[in-house]
Amino acid sequence: MALKVGKKAPDFTLPSTSGKKFTLSQDCKGKACIIYFYPKDFTKVCTAEACDFRDQFGAFRNLDVPVIGISRDDIQTHIKFQKEYNLPFDLLSDEKGNVCNAYDALIPLIRVPKRITYFLDREHVVRAVFSDIFASKAHVDEMIKRLQLEESKKLTNS
């Protein structure tokens, strides 16, 4: 079960492929963002998902919405994965699984991250969740639809 829509997302700090520690409340302060959890670097479906986020990255960048990927892989594996596939967004290492757990993104018993994507608004309240272990492309498509909906609401309200 994912975090519920309308719930404030837990703050966290994790090592990033940028070489710095990433803290949600600081690095995305006042910004909406996409946080996606995935099982493992260099696996078929996870690679397809990362490449889909890469290929659609312009849509997120144009709306100033950072994309952040999180798995339990170590930072060195993330750096290789990011470089190998030219990923234009940061990957965060949650080796102990604490952040995955806080976001209800761990498969019980085996403690492997689920494939789950969150759209957080500017106050880091969950506005959309998509969870499907096999449908990697659908995660990206759903988040783009949600962002477009948010943008059209802004235009209607202005």
Q: Outline where the chain has alpha helix (H).
A: 24-27, 44-55, 57-62, 75-84, 98-102, 136-157
Sorted by sequence, the CB contacts under 8 Å of residue 150 that are 6+ apart come out as: 32, 121, 127
Q: Hey, CA dihedral for 92, 98, 102, 106, is it positive or negative?
A: positive
Q: Give dist(CA 47, CA 41) in Å, integer.
A: 7
| List 28, 46, 51, 100, catalytic entry | 46
3-state helix, strand, coil in the chain (%, to 5): 35, 25, 40
Reply yes or no on whether 46 is catalytic. Answer: yes
Give Cα separations from 126 to 3, 42, 119 (angstroms): 7, 28, 6
Beta bridge partners of 52: none
Q: Which are the catalytic amino acids?
A: 46
